[in-house]
Each structure stands twice: as structure tokens, then as C-alpha cells.
Amino acid sequence: MNGKKLFREIILIVAAGCFLGMAVNFPLVSRFARGEFKESFLPAELYPGIAFIARAEAEDLFNRKQAVFIDSRSGEEFDAGHIPDAVNISLDEAKKGFPGGEPDFLKEKLMVLYCRGGDCRQSVTLSRLLYDRGYKNIKIYQGGWDEWHRAGLQEEKGHGQK
Amino acid sequence: MVRNKYVLFFFCLMAGGMFIWAGALKIAEPLEFAQSIRNYRVVGQEPAFAVAVVLPWVEVLSGACLIAGLFRRASALLLSLLLAGFIGLVASVVWRGLEVDCGCFGAMSGRADGRLILQDAVFLFFTLNVFLSRENGISLFKPRRDK
């Protein structure tokens, strides 16, 4: 097989991948182009203390009770179902400057932030906000509530009803 | 170099299957994958997003081609290049002492560490053998004779 043919075939596979990726994600790409996700990514060099974790690590921290889980979704979503013992700090509430009082007790603890999962970025935005206010020990569980729920793990409804 | 067509097909199944699986998991969550790429601190937000949108599809297509026997050597070379890139990237993370999630298998991702480098090296061995072999092996597509 000559190099030219090999190169052509590689280009074909990559081009097909580009086309499919752009076509399937077109709505997401449009939103990104409009700048909708500008604040939704975490520049790791500016926030060195924040780490992203997968479900296995989130589960491990939950089972060993080594972290406080922070649910960054709205109160209604939180009531409909959340990770047991999670604290609901919605992004909107945090942006308003914690009307219920600054949760200082969390400053000493490891926090695991999550939101719905998928294209939700509230947990990332909340992590930036909390980090800037002095909460430095933060992990973000990217899979979020949807993934936790789908995996059939323990959950809680309302404010403490298992 | 391995020449046995059954062993080569086993390599294709293993490497192709792994890439199809890894790609499919990432296709479902492009933003999550974009953040994982960003965490390596190599590229900015825009390139990370572009890679997150395209790379999983390239992985799935290459993996499928490798198994089906369509453009087998090209897909083997492409996957070898990707694997070499991943190894370099993870090695740079280990070198810089960063603690990041590899992001390679969506929710099932582990840490980007030496174990991952070893795992990628095994798959690189598979794909390189397929690429370097003149044996067309077991294929769903009838191979054309090269001129």
C-alpha cells in the first residue's frame, strides 16, 4: 500500500468523524459559538485546588463520608431527588451572596459539587464562585445527578426523606 | 511482529472494541469531555471543545473500520498515532505532577497515571502490529490488491 492511499484513507476517516461530530452536536456547537459556555469551563491554572472526579471516586467519598456533597441545582430539582445528606446551594442563591448566611463550616471540609450532569455547568460555575470566596477544597462530580440516579445508587427526596 | 491472522484479528477486536466503547461513552457527554481535555492544561477552551466534539467520532469510526477490515491499515495507523499522542499527554501530566481524571472512558475514567500509559502501550502494540502486518486477515470487506 502506498503512502498516498494510506494518507487519503486517514483523511477520509477524520473528515467523516468531523462531519458526524459537528452534525450531531450542531445545537451545542451553536451555543458554544454564541459564548454560552464562556464561564462554564474551569481554567485549571487559575483554580489549582479544584479537581474533577468520576463516579467511582464520588461513590467512594460518599461511602466513606469523607466529603460534603453540594447540590447546585434549584430547590425544586433538589427536592425531587438528590444524593443523601447533600446540601443544596443553588447557583442563583450563591450569586446573590447566600441570603441564608455564608456556609463557613464548609471551609474546612472537602466539598463535592454536582449538578444535573450532561450539559449542565452550574457545578463548575459554582465552584469558581466558592473558590474565589475562600473555599479551596473542592471536587466536581461531572456525571452529576443523572448519572448517580441512573446507576441506582442511594438517593433522598425532599429534605431528608430516603 | 505477529503474522498469524487470527492473532491479528484478535488485536483488531481488542483495540477496535476499546475505541468504539471509549468513543461512544464520550459522544454522549461532549462538554464533560471538553473539560477533561482542558484539565490537562495543554490547550485552551476552544480547541478543547473542538476536539471533544470530533475526537470521539473519529475513535468510533476508526475502531469500527479496524474490526470490519475497511481501511484496516489506515485505521490502525490513525489509532496508533492517537495512542502515541495519549501516551505523550499522560506522561506530561505525570511529569508535571498534575492529578487529573483521564477522561478517556466518560464516567468510568480513572486517573491519568502510569497504569494508563501501560494500558495505552499495550493497545499501541496491537495497532502497530496490525499496521505493520502485510496480512489482511479476517475481514468483512474483500481487500483490494494494492498496485
What's chain B's average pLDDT?
88
Task: Report the complex ipTM.
Answer: 0.88
Beta carbons of B61 and A5 less than 8 Å apart: no
- Distances in whole angstroms, Cα of residue B97 to Cα of each of A48, B40, B41, B42: 12, 11, 12, 14
Q: Taking 80 as the threshold, does the pLDDT of residue A130 lie above it?
A: yes
Domain boundaries, given as residue ranges, for chain A: 3-33, 50-150
Q: Taking 60 as the threshold, does the pLDDT of residue A49 lie above it?
A: yes
> Residue A5's CB: how many other CB atoms inside 10 A?
15
Q: Taking 60 as the threshold, does the pLDDT of residue B130 lie above it?
A: yes
Instruction: Compute the C-alpha angle A7/A13/A14, nearest 5°.
Output: 85
Closest residue in A to B31 (Cα–Cα): A119
Of A13, A21, A51, the CB nearest to B74: A13
Rounded to an integer, the average pLDDT of A61-85 is: 92
- Best residue in A28, A142, A148 for a mutation probing chain B (most B CBs within 10 Å): A142
Locus of grid cell 467512594: A60
Closest residue in A to B32 (Cα–Cα): A142
Beta carbons of B49 and A13 less than 8 Å apart: no
pTM for this model (two decimals):
0.77
> Residue A27's CB: how many other CB atoms inside 10 A?
9
| C-alpha cell recorded at residue A2 | 502506498
Q: What pLDDT is recorded for position A94? A: 81
For residue B97, how far is the Cα from the chain centroid? 24
Beta carbons of B45 and A41 less than 8 Å apart: yes
Q: How far apart are the CA of A152 and the nearest CA of chain B, in angstroms?
A: 14
Half-sphere exposure of B10 (CA within 13 A, CB side): 7
Q: Taking 60 as the threshold, does the pLDDT of residue B81 lie above it?
A: yes
By C-alpha distance, which of B16, B2, B1 is closest to B139?
B16
Mean pLDDT lowest for which of A142-146, B127-131, B142-146?
A: B142-146
Q: Taking 60 as the threshold, does the pLDDT of residue A148 lie above it?
A: yes
Interface of A with B (CB under 8 A): 1-2, 5-6, 9-10, 12-14, 16-18, 20-22, 24-25, 28-29, 32, 37, 40-45, 51-56, 117-119, 121, 124, 142-143, 147
Q: How far apart are the CA of B119 and the nearest CA of chain A, in angstroms?
A: 19
pLDDT band at B142 (very low <50, low <70, confident <90, very high): low
Render pLDDT for A111-122 as a digit per residue (tens, 0 to 9): 999 998 877 788
Q: Taking 70 as the threshold, does the pLDDT of residue B67 lie above it?
A: yes
For A50-150, give the CATH class: alpha beta
| Distance from C-alpha of B58 to C-alpha of A18, rounded to nearest angstrom | 7
Beta carbons of A52 and B39 less than 8 Å apart: yes
Beta carbons of A21 and B53 less than 8 Å apart: yes
Residue A109 is given by DSSP the state: S
What's chain A's average pLDDT?
86
- Distances in whole angstroms, Cα of residue B106 to Cα of each of A7, A118, A121, B21: 30, 11, 16, 10
Torsion A94-A150-A109-B95 (CA) sign: negative
Q: What pLDDT is recorded for position A44? A: 73
